């Protein structure tokens, strides 16, 4: 009976033991959620700058499209039954299409990118950094629109370690993804992005 299922997932949410199956059964309410270590997390709507930077990054990295599928949120990345994330940009090597299913990405992408929002800083820089590392994500980028920096982390053992901090005119490169090479400033070259970041 539907009311029994509702009681089950309401209890799971309260007790922070949400799984992908419970998450997939939640009624559509127009909101975006992630499941982090069994806790259902409401995601705030992306800002205009957030959307513009994600789109710009997608365009700038098209040099990788022959080797990688480059995907944009919202898309479920199912790392485990209790960890379902929605990174802003996702890279999957074309030799690993077995992790691409009708449900989303089932396994660790080669690269995930998060664009920081005011409400996502701790989640992206602490919680998701730990979760992505534990589940074998090979490379993780954190793009900070306010500081205009990009942090690049790589998998070492079972954790992600900061390898490089790019700022200003630095050229963003990756040993793991040699197809990537662009000036960080290209992401912020759009006049409208600068105006919005300046509070205009």
Among 97, 141, 117, 125, which residue's Cα sits nearest to residue 49?
117
Q: Please count the other Cβ atoms lying within 10 Å of the Cβ belonging to residue 119.
A: 12
Q: Whole-model pTM?
A: 0.93
Tell me what the pLDDT averaged over the chain comes to.
91
Among 30, 67, 11, 149, which residue's Cα sits nearest to residue 22?
11
pLDDT, tens digit, for every residue of 134-187?
A: 999 999 999 999 999 999 999 998 899 999 999 999 999 999 999 999 999 999
Specify the residue for token string 């599928």.
69
Three-state DSSP class for 37? coil
Instruction: Give how far Cα 173 sits from Cα of 10, 26, 150, Å.
Output: 45, 40, 11
Three-state DSSP class for 66? coil
CA distance 101 to 24: 14
pLDDT, tens digit, for every residue of 13-56?
A: 778 899 999 999 888 888 899 999 999 998 887 788 888 999 99
């Amino acid at each position: 009976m539907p009311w029994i299922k509702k009681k089950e997932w309401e209890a799971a949410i309260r007790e922070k033991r949400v799984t992908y199956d419970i998450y997939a059964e939640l009624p559509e309410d127009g909101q975006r959620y992630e499941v982090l270590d069994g806790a259902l997390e409401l995601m705030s709507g992306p800002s205009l700058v957030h959307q513009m930077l994600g789109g710009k990054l997608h365009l700038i990295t098209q040099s990788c499209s022959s080797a990688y599928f480059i995907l944009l949120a919202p898309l479920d990345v199912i790392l485990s039954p209790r960890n379902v994330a929605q990174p802003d940009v996702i890279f999957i090597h074309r030799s690993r299409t077995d992790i691409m299913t009708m449900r989303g990405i089932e396994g660790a992408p080669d690269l995930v990118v998060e664009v920081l929002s005011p409400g996502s800083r701790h989640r992206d820089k602490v919680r998701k950094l730990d979760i992505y590392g534990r589940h074998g994500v090979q490379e993780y980028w954190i793009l900070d629109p306010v500081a205009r920096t990009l942090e690049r982390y790589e998998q070492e053992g079972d954790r992600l370690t900061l390898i490089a901090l790019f700022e200003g005119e630095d050229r963003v490169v990756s040993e793991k993804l040699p197809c990537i090479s662009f000036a960080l400033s290209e992401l912020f070259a759009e006049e409208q992005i600068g105006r919005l970041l300046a509070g205009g």
